[in-house]
Amino acid sequence: MNWKNLGKALLFPPITIMIILVPIAAVLLIGSMVFIGTESVIACISYVLAAYTLTVWCFKLPILINFLKTFKNENKYVRKWQDDTRLRVNASLYGTLAWNALYGIFQLWLGFYHHTFWFYSLGAYYICLAVMRFFLVRHTRKFAPGEKMQTELIKYRACGIVFLVMNLALALIIFFMVYWDRTFEHHMITAIAMAAYTFTALTTAIINVIKYRKYNSPVFSASKAISLAAALVSVLTLESTMLTTFGDETMTATTQKWMLGATGGAISLLIVATAIYMIVVGTGKLKELKTEDENG
């Protein structure tokens, strides 16, 4: 037996087998953790298979990176996506607009069905986000960044005003969480998935807020500020989920309420500060443009 060839075949299997291994390992791992139990034979097999799948993909990683770099440089559509900031922002706005609108309507329907202001407040929050994105995408669809600076500043300032109104809905969410002990309860796997999504969304939002400042487009900056606000509310929802799922045996209900209240208050203040900043900066730059036009 040629051990070298065997080891190579195990560590570098065909890409088809590697792709097939991913869903099989994921299903077995989740199934053993949720339904079967972590000490069963199937669970042990799922752990070994998951570790093996991760290992072979790690060995394949350099090749995949080179392939993606080559594909990015040679494919004209990928190059266009990479080079066209306006296209990326429009795609992001359209996608998040649809998501916020549908999710907000769903929450409003839940409020109507269950007769509770809890879902009404969540629905109002996401509807506000959808309205803000709608006004932004109407502008970015027609004009390039900086082409209509005065209009961009007006929309930028308007988004700041909507942020203040939106904070009322956020205050209701925090109130229901803390005072009426309305929290989110999910399965452990769901909570972990929510954590992964929330931290990814928050990290991406912070990076984009800093990154898109260089384009000197108030509309672009406003769109990323909206994403940051949505990510912050996801952090609040995640904290509630984690405390409900993992914190029952480690802390009292009063401690959980204090933690939710502190986090919610900090997020609310941050959104208010963002709104005031957008209003003040937008108003100041509009005055500068007006002064330049009068002197020009």
* pLDDT of 181: 59
Burial label, 154 (beta-carbon count in 10 A; 0-12, 13-18, 19+): middle
The CA-CA-CA angle for residues 218, 141, 91, to 5°, reads: 90
Is it the case that residue 183 has pLDDT exceeding 60?
A: no
Sequence-distant (≥ 6) Cβ neighbours of residue 138 within 8 angstroms: none
**In the predicted model, what is the mean pLDDT of residues 35-57?**
76
Burial label, 247 (beta-carbon count in 10 A; 0-12, 13-18, 19+): middle
Among 26-30, 33-37, 163-167, name the one with the lowest average pLDDT: 33-37
User: Measured between alpha carbons, how far is 11 from 4 in angstroms, rounded to an integer?
Assistant: 11
* pLDDT of 45: 79
**In the predicted model, what is the mean pLDDT of residues 252-256?**
71
Residues in the chain: 296
The model carries a pTM of 0.67
What is the C-alpha radius of gyration for the chain, rounded to an integer number of angstroms? Answer: 24
Is it the case that residue 77 has pLDDT exceeding 80?
A: no
Q: Report helix, strand or coil for 146.
A: coil
Q: What is the pLDDT of residues 264-289, one digit of tens each?
A: 888 888 888 888 988 998 888 888 88
When pLDDT is cut at 50, 70 and 90, the band that residue 214 belongs to is confident
Q: Is the dihedral of CA 230, 233, 238, 239 positive or negative?
A: positive
* pLDDT of 184: 55
